[in-house]
């Protein structure tokens, strides 16, 4: 699983940071989380072909998270995008995309999914869950959850004279089997490998759902617009401080924290990093084009 930060700024772009966009590559899926202005150019710089995209998931309809969409759709049209692009977002996403798609003469295949809290994508290998945050318009955070896998213990199966066989598929599906009159228990014959969880907390003030989203995540990517001396402002405009994001990570048993959606007042993000690291050591501040493998 690879995560690429294509934009890490809040509200307005800076010379170093573009507006919010994160690409998650997993298996054959390339999912873009939020679509800040200029995302197609960021993809060009990062040498990512936009036609590889399979889905776009929009957290909320504020312009700094959506204005990249018309350019991106136009780019897909120009590059003869053949797939069906699945676009997810809160109520209103349908109208926005319909308006933007008007520019390209409806020539791309797409499907809109208006989201509410709950599972929004359920595939065999992964699922994505949306959980409502507390922002000044409807906004969601997301859990990307890789499905658990079962690794077969071939040594154990040797005792039963069982080697490669289509019946092993049933063990992989978590079912016990009977082989030549012997019952083979799935828990003995396989090892359960827990799937990874990536949590995304987008624009929000501190709320209980932040911890819910972050719970036991291998990686939490959280907005961190301000530092703690501006916590009144953060609360007023419904954003998080670095301290709050780090506390969420700490209390939710997160393994690694990456902060993004950084206000343009923090040039290199040092203040953000220092404040968060005081509370949660395994923290990084995202930079545009940063890549993380999980």
Active site residues: 64
Q: Quick one: tokens of 211?
A: 């911890």
For Zn ion, which is the closer residue by CB, 64 or 288?
A: 64
Q: Residue 50: what are its φ and ψ, rounded to 5°?
A: -55, -25
Contact 126, 145 (CB under 8 A): yes
Identify which of residues 10 and 31 has a Cβ nearer to Zn ion in the complex: 10
Cross-strand bridge partners of residue 124: none
120: alpha, beta or left, given left = phi > 0 and alpha = psi -120 to 50? alpha
Bridge partners (DSSP) listed for residue 2: 25, 293
CA–CA distance, 133 with 203 (Å, rounded to integer):
8
Comparison of 55 and 62: residue with beta carbon closer to Zn ion: 62
Rg for the chain (alpha carbons), in Å? 21
62 scored as a contact of Zn ion (CB under 5 A): yes
The answer to the question of residue 64 lying near Zn ion (CB under 5 A) is: yes
Nearest approach in angstroms of CB 75 to Zn ion is 22
Total interface residues for Zn ion by CB under 5 A: 3
* Cα 123 to Cα 292: distance, rounded to the nearest angstrom: 23
Give 224's contacts (C-beta < 8 A, 6+ positions apart): 240, 241, 242, 244, 245, 259, 260, 261, 262, 272, 276, 285
Of the two residues 203 and 275, which places its CB atom closer to Zn ion in the complex? 203
Query: Is residue 203 a contact residue for Zn ion (CB under 5 A)?
Result: yes
Q: What is the DSSP letter of 83?
A: S
Smallest distance from Zn ion to CB 202, Å: 7
Q: Residue 72 corresponds to which tokens in the numbers above?
A: 């991106």
Q: What is the DSSP string of 227-273?
A: -GGGHHHHHHTT--BHHHHHHHHHHTT-S-EEEE-B-TTSSSSHHHH
* CA pair distance 166, 81, nearest whole angstrom: 38
Check residue 129 for interaction with Zn ion (CB under 5 A): no
Chain residues that interact with Zn ion, rule: CB under 5 A: 62, 64, 203
């Amino acid at each position: 699983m690879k995560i690429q930060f294509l934009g890490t700024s809040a509200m307005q772009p800076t010379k170093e940071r573009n507006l919010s966009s994160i690409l998650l590559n997993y298996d054959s899926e390339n999912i873009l989380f939020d679509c800040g202005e200029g995302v197609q150019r960021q993809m060009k710089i990062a040498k990512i072909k936009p036609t590889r995209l399979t889905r776009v998931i929009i957290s909320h309809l504020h312009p700094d998270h959506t204005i990249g969409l018309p350019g991106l759709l136009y780019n897909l049209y120009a590059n003869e995008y053949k797939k069906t692009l699945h676009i997810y977002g809160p109520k209103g996403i349908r109208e926005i995309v319909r308006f933007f798609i008007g520019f390209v003469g409806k020539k791309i295949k797409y499907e809109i999914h208006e989201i509410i809290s709950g599972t929004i994508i359920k595939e065999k290998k992964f699922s994505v869950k949306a959980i409502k945050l507390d922002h000044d318009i409807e906004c969601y955070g997301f859990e990307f959850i890789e499905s658990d896998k079962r690794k077969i213990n071939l040594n154990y199966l040797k005792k039963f004279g069982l080697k490669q066989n289509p019946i092993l598929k049933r063990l992989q599906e978590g079912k016990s089997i009977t082989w030549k009159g012997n019952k083979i228990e799935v828990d003995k014959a396989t090892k359960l490998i827990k799937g990874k969880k990536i949590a995304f907390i987008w624009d929000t003030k501190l709320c209980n759902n932040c911890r819910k989203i972050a719970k036991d995540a291998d990686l939490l990517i959280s907005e961190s617009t301000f530092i703690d001396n501006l916590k009144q402002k953060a609360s007023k405009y419904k954003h998080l401080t670095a301290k709050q994001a780090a506390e969420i990570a700490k209390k939710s048993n997160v393994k690694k924290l990456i902060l993004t959606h950084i206000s343009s007042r923090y040039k290199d993000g040092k203040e953000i990093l220092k404040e968060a690291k005081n509370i949660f050591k395994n923290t990084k501040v995202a930079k545009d084009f940063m890549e993380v493998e999980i």
